[in-house]
Amino acid sequence: MGLLWQVVRFEARRMMRNFAPVFFALAFPVLMLCMFGGIYGNKPSSQLDGRGTVDLSVPAYLVLVVSVTGLMSFPLGLAEYRDRKVLKRFRATPLGAPAMLIAQGLVNIALSLLGAVLLIVAGRLFFGLHLPNSTGAAVAAAGALVLATLVMYALGGVIAAVAPSERAATAVANLVYFPMIFLSGATIPLQIFPSTMKKISDGVPATYAVKLLQHAWLDSPTNVALDVGVLAGLLILAATAAARLFRWE
């Protein structure tokens, strides 16, 4: 355990020097929130089913935070380590290669957690964000976020597994990440999507995470069984595929 902690510290230092994930997980969602919160405030809006912009955005942006670490930072870190034979280097030591990957996963999850906290604190401090109104709702929201996180990391694992190289992984991650965040309501509210766009968004996994999280947080209407079913099914599929397809070299 002591050794894994050392590896996590090592990976955490490397992460702090990695601009893109740090910016997109910590600063970008808060900046977006400040921009849209600054424009629209948090007053209930008829366009958003009677919810305030900030209340609706924070749960959605939480999915954004776990997507950027799960779909971009995590698989790109793995692909880099595999492509540059760093995994092989550590496989030749008593540490072994899996510890490096576990440490990378933990550091990415810690980064998302920090991003989530910053987002909630900023929403609360600047715009009077409403927190889930019961302990049960808070637990449900946390559970939905954990499920969303696991799905994104499993998908990231598939990206790392199927991409033949670091460059290919970057391309695939971008191709998956951008539709995922823009078509799912994670950045632009689903409530303002026209019906065609809503149909498209039904094909994007993150949509179910956004709906589930908003439901848990705000009690907004959704088909909970469908959301949980899609996410859990995808988690099982993606995790199995990633574990099966992952190459250490």
Binding site for other proteins (CB under 8 A): 2-3, 6-7, 10, 13-14, 17-18, 80-81, 84-86, 88-89, 91-96
In the complex, minimum distance from the CB of residue 115 to other proteins, in angstroms, rounded to a whole number: 19
In the complex, minimum distance from the CB of residue 17 to other proteins, in angstroms, rounded to a whole number: 4
Give the Å distances, CA to CA, from 174 to 23, 134, 152, 156.
Answer: 16, 37, 14, 11
| Of 101, 88, 229, nearest in space to 157 by CA | 101
| Of 139, 137, 69, 132, nearest in space to 104 by CA | 69
Q: Which is nearer to other proteins, 14 or 199 (CB)?
A: 14
Q: Which is nearer to other proteins, 199 or 247 (CB)?
A: 247
Q: Which is nearer to other proteins, 8 or 109 (CB)?
A: 8
DSSP state of 41: T
In the complex, minimum distance from the CB of residue 96 to other proteins, in angstroms, rounded to a whole number: 8
In the complex, minimum distance from the CB of residue 1 to other proteins, in angstroms, rounded to a whole number: 12
What is the rounded distance in angstroms from the CA atom of residue 73 to the CA atom of residue 90? 20
* Bridge partner residues of 95 (DSSP): none
Q: Which is nearer to other proteins, 24 or 208 (CB)?
A: 24
In the complex, minimum distance from the CB of residue 12 to other proteins, in angstroms, rounded to a whole number: 10
Collapse the DSSP code of 45 into the 3-class scheme (helix H, G, I; strand E, B; otherwise coil) and give the result.
strand
Residue written as tokens 């199927």? Answer: 162
Total residues found in the chain within this entry: 249
181, 187 contact by CB (below 8 A): yes
Q: Which is nearer to other proteins, 79 or 209 (CB)?
A: 79
Q: Which is nearer to other proteins, 3 or 192 (CB)?
A: 3
What is the rounded distance in angstroms from the CA atom of residue 176 to the CA atom of residue 50? 31
In the complex, minimum distance from the CB of residue 87 to other proteins, in angstroms, rounded to a whole number: 9
139, 125 contact by CB (below 8 A): no
